[in-house]
């Protein structure tokens, strides 16, 4: 993962301004270094003025740890080794070197950071073991463990930040994809039926223009009405897309049980439709369920008009306690008629299935034994308050 992304995660995780945090941290490690020397902590001889100066300067370098982590690491290690050599105190600058090792392992390129921090830890451990009095092997193990601990913590924090970035990016990508699918479904719902009706009726008008001008005129009027309606729906859809509200691109029907609009539109497209309803939507049915049912019915009728000509079609809604079963079945495609079957792309069925699944339902579609076609969907009500 790139460094800019990691920097975003670091800023996101930190509750303080990094500069203020670094300033406070510098004060803490510098104060600790001076106090450790002043109170003779882990010290063999008297403290010299140069040890105070070196300790203060080395600890003060922590303020620049984000600017140049390797340089700060080198300065703190050099200061710690000098103070250890000068007065035998390897505790005073322990916090400063730990912070420097952590920072190098945490910031920048991962491989370079780990290599640099590890090299610094090895140098510190070996040099401290050579300056120690408890035996080289014991001192080396102890100093090495102390030096590599902040490196391990820094790398763990880096891994955690990277994981958070990945989760954020994955969630953002999923939301973008879901929004694209939602817009695609709504655009298909708004446009497909109107264009199908216009295409079919224009074929009727062209076919009957010379022989039966009256019927051709009626077809042209349907085209005009359908075109205006589709334009109004597209304008409304664009308005919703420009808004910041998380709203459906088509509103919830005023009467959930009224399928008359779809039946009339299908008839205008040359499809004889019979609607049958058993039961009704409950009063507290969710808007999403109603919209899903209506769009599935509309898309199914659009597909009949496009691919089956004037085949007789039945729409049946069967309401149950917690769901409704939607069935749209058409007879075999008519051989004659004025409309021409349009090759199927499968987008309509995919959209209907996504509609059903978006509210926790399911949808099946396929040919019937007699050569017709059947769409069957189960849509949960998802009643409010349950």
pLDDT in tens, 256-272: 888 887 787 777 777 88
- HSE-up of residue 372 (Cα within 13 Å, Cβ side): 14
Tokens representing 224? 């005009």
Q: For 105-142, how does the pLDDT look when each residue is reduced to its tens digit (9 = 90+)?
A: 888 788 888 888 888 888 888 887 788 766 778 778 87
In a domain, 185, yes or no: no
The CATH number assigned to the domain holding 269 equals: 3.30.565.10
- Residues 154 and 265 reside in one and the same domain: no
End residue of a domain, out of 120, 146, 171: 171
End residue of a domain, out of 154, 171, 188: 171
Range of the domain at 85: 3-171
- HSE-up of residue 2 (Cα within 13 Å, Cβ side): 4
Residue with the larger pLDDT of the pair 376 and 283: 376
In a domain, 354, yes or no: yes
In a domain, 337, yes or no: yes
| Residue 322 scores a pLDDT above 60 | yes
d(CA 203, CA 16) in angstroms, rounded, equals 69
Quick one: average pLDDT of 283-295?
86
- Residues 160 and 292 reside in one and the same domain: no
d(CA 73, CA 81) in angstroms, rounded, equals 12
High-pLDDT (> 70) share of the chain, %: 79
What confidence tier does 329 reach under pLDDT thresholds 50, 70, 90? very high
Least confident of 2-6, 67-71, 93-97, 382-386: 2-6
- Residues 155 and 298 reside in one and the same domain: no
| Residue 170 scores a pLDDT above 80 | yes
Q: Mean of the per-residue pLDDT values for the chain?
A: 78
- Residues 55 and 160 reside in one and the same domain: yes
Do the beta carbons of residue 339 and residue 270 sit within 8 Å?
A: yes
Strands (E), the chain: 273-278, 313-319, 323-330, 362-367, 373-380
What confidence tier does 19 reach under pLDDT thresholds 50, 70, 90? confident
| Residue 318 scores a pLDDT above 90 | yes
- Residues 14 and 159 reside in one and the same domain: yes
pLDDT at position 2: 42
Residue with the larger pLDDT of the pair 320 and 188: 320
In a domain, 328, yes or no: yes
End residue of a domain, out of 150, 171, 192: 171
- Residues 148 and 7 reside in one and the same domain: yes
In a domain, 191, yes or no: no
Cα–Cα distances (Å) from 283 to 166, 257, 273, 324, in that order, read: 43, 11, 27, 14
Quick one: average pLDDT of 84-103?
86
In a domain, 229, yes or no: no
Q: Which residues contact 32 (CB under 8 A, 6 or more apart)?
A: 59, 92, 95
- Residues 49 and 149 reside in one and the same domain: yes
What confidence tier does 234 reach under pLDDT thresholds 50, 70, 90? confident
In a domain, 46, yes or no: yes
Q: Which of 194, 360, 340 is nearest to 288 (CA)?
A: 360
The total domain count for the chain is 2
Quick one: average pLDDT of 188-204?
70
Q: Indicate the DSSP class of residue 69.
A: H
Residue with tokens 């817009």: 183
pLDDT at position 67: 87
- Residues 147 and 259 reside in one and the same domain: no
pLDDT at position 340: 47
- Residues 17 and 151 reside in one and the same domain: yes
- Residues 262 and 132 reside in one and the same domain: no
| Residue 96 scores a pLDDT above 70 | yes
pLDDT at position 33: 86
d(CA 121, CA 140) in angstroms, rounded, equals 11
In a domain, 243, yes or no: no
- Residues 46 and 163 reside in one and the same domain: yes
């Amino acid at each position: 993962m790139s460094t800019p992304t990691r920097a975003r995660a670091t800023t996101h995780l930190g509750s303080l301004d990094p500069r203020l945090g670094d300033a406070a941290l510098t004060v803490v490690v510098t104060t600790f270094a001076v106090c450790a020397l002043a109170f003779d902590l882990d010290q063999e001889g008297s403290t010299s003025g140069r040890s105070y100066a070196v300790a203060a300067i080395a600890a003060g370098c922590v303020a620049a740890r984000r600017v140049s982590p390797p340089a700060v690491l080198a300065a703190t290690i050099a200061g710690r080794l000098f103070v250890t050599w000068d007065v035998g105190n390897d505790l005073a600058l322990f916090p400063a070197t730990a912070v420097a090792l952590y920072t190098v392992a945490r910031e920048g390129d991962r491989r370079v950071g780990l290599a640099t921090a590890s090299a610094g830890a090895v140098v510190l451990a070996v040099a401290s073991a050579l300056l120690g009095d408890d035996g080289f092997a014991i001192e080396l193990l102890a100093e090495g463990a102390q030096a590599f601990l902040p490196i391990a913590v820094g790398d763990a924090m880096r891994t955690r930040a990277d994981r958070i970035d990945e989760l954020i990016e994955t969630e953002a990508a999923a939301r973008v994809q879901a929004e694209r699918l939602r817009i695609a479904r709504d655009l298909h719902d708004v446009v497909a039926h109107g264009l199908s009706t216009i295409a079919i009726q224009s074929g009727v008008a062209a076919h009957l223009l010379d022989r039966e001008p009256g019927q051709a005129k009626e077809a042209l009027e349907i085209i005009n009405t359908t075109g205006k309606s589709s334009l109004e729906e597209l304008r409304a859809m664009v308005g919703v897309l420009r808004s910041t509200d998380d709203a459906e691109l088509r509103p919830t029907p005023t009467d959930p049980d009224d399928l008359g609009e779809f039946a009339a539109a299908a008839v205008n497209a040359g499809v004889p439709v019979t609607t049958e309803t058993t039961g009704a939507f409950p009063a507290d049915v969710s808007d999403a369920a109603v919209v899903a049912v209506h769009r599935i019915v509309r898309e199914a009728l659009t597909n009949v008009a496009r691919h089956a000509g004037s085949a007789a079609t039945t729409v049946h809604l069967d309401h149950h306690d917690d769901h409704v079963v939607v069935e749209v079945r058409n007879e075999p495609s008519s051989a004659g008629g004025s409309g021409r079957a349009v090759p199927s792309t499968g987008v309509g069925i995919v959209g209907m299935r996504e509609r059903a699944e978006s509210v926790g339902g399911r949808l099946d579609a396929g040919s019937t034994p007699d050569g017709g076609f059947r769409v069957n969907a189960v849509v949960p009500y998802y009643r409010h308050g349950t």
